[in-house]
Amino acid sequence: MAERISLGLVGARGYVGAELIRLVAAHPRFALAFVSSRERDGQRLADHEPAYAGDLRYTNLGPEAVAGQGVDALVLALPNGMAAGFVAALDWVAADPVVVDLSADYRFDDSWHYGLPELTRARAAGARRISNPGCYATAMQLAVAPMRDALAGPVQCFGVSGYSGAGTSPSDKNDPEKLRDNLMPYALAGHIHEREVTRQLGHPVEFMPHVAPHFRGITLTANLHLARSFSRDEVVQRYREAYAGEPLVAVSDEAPWVSRIAGRHGVEVGGFTLADDGRRLVVVSTLDNLLKGAATQALQNLNLAFGLPETMGIPT
C-alpha cells in the first residue's frame, strides 16, 4: 500500500477549506494531519464535515506552530494578506513542505509557481511553493487563452459570482437579503483578478465583477477584439484543440449555464458569438468558484507536486 502524504490546512472554517477537507478525506494518498481554525478550536472535525470519518479536532495554530508540524504539504486557505507570516515561519525553521496558497499574496511573485494546470502544468515540475489562481481569474484565462495570439486591444470581461465568493465574514456582498432580486457591482476597475489575468496572459484585461443572489458558481462573459476576421468554425476548432484531453474543461457550442456547473469540478467554455465582420468574439465560461475556482484546483496542484495523476481524488 502506498505511503500516505500528510497535509495540513490553515483556514479550515471557510467555504473553500470545507470543500478541500471533503476532497482530501476521499483522496487515496493524502491524509489530513491537522486543520487549523481559530473559531472552531477543539471541536471535532467530523461534527462539521461528515465526509471526514476520523477523530481529528480543529486546532488554532499560529505560524510557528504550523511550521513545526512536519507535514508533507500545507494549504493556506486564508484571506488576502495573511499568508506571509506562515511562509516566513517555514523559512525560519528550514521546513520545506509543498505549500499551496489560495490567496492572492504570491500570484505576482515570480519565485512561486502559478498553478493553473491547463495553462501552466509544463512549468509545474519541482514546484514546492504554488500560488493558486483566483476563481474569476481562472474563468477569464480559460475563456481567453486559445485566442491570445489573435487579440487586438484590451479584453473586456463581465463576471457574475455567487455570494460564497465573498467568504464567510458578513458583508453586503454575502448578505442574501440584500442580494435578493439584485445584482451588486463592485471593484469595477483595478480588481486584483484584472491585474492577475493581465499579467498571466501578457495582454490587457478589463474586468467588471458582480455578485448575484445564488450561492455558488461564476458566469464570465469575455469580449475579445481580434486582429483579423475569424469564422465561427475556426474559433471553435481553436478551443477544441486547446482543451483536447483536458478532463476538467468542456467546450460547448451553446453558452453554458451557471446552474449546471454548481457542485462540479470543471469548467465549461462556450457560447462562441462573432460580430458580422468576424473581428469581435464573445465567449462565456462557467465554473464553481469554490471548486475549480479554488479547492479542486488546489488538489490538481498538489497531485502534480507529488507526481500523482493530476485528477486523482477529483470526480470527473
What does residue 129 show for φ and ψ, rounded to 5 degrees?
-120, 110
Strand partners, 222: 157, 283
CA quadruple 192, 194, 196, 199: dihedral, nearest 10: -140
C-alpha pair distances (Å), 108 with each of 138, 197, 297: 15, 10, 18
Give CA–CA dist 12/74, Å, rounded. 12
Give CA–CA dist 313/116, Å, rounded. 18
Output the CA torsion sign for 239, 241, 242, 247.
positive
Cell of 241: 484543440
- Whether the CB-CB separation of 217 and 262 falls below 8 Å is answered with yes
- Helix, strand, or coil (residue 252): strand
Give CA–CA dist 179/163, Å, rounded. 8
Element containing residue 179 per DSSP (H, E):
helix 176-179
Give CA–CA dist 12/10, Å, rounded. 6
Which amino acids are annotated catalytic? 135
Task: Name the burial class of residue 175, with classes exposed (0-12), middle (13-18) and buried (19+) by CB atoms within 10 angstroms of its CB.
Answer: middle
- Whether the CB-CB separation of 207 and 140 falls below 8 Å is answered with yes
Give CA–CA dist 216/49, Å, rounded. 18
Strand partners, 237: none
Q: What is the 3-state secondary structure (H, E, C) of 84-107?
A: HHHHHHHHHCCCCCEEEECCCCCC
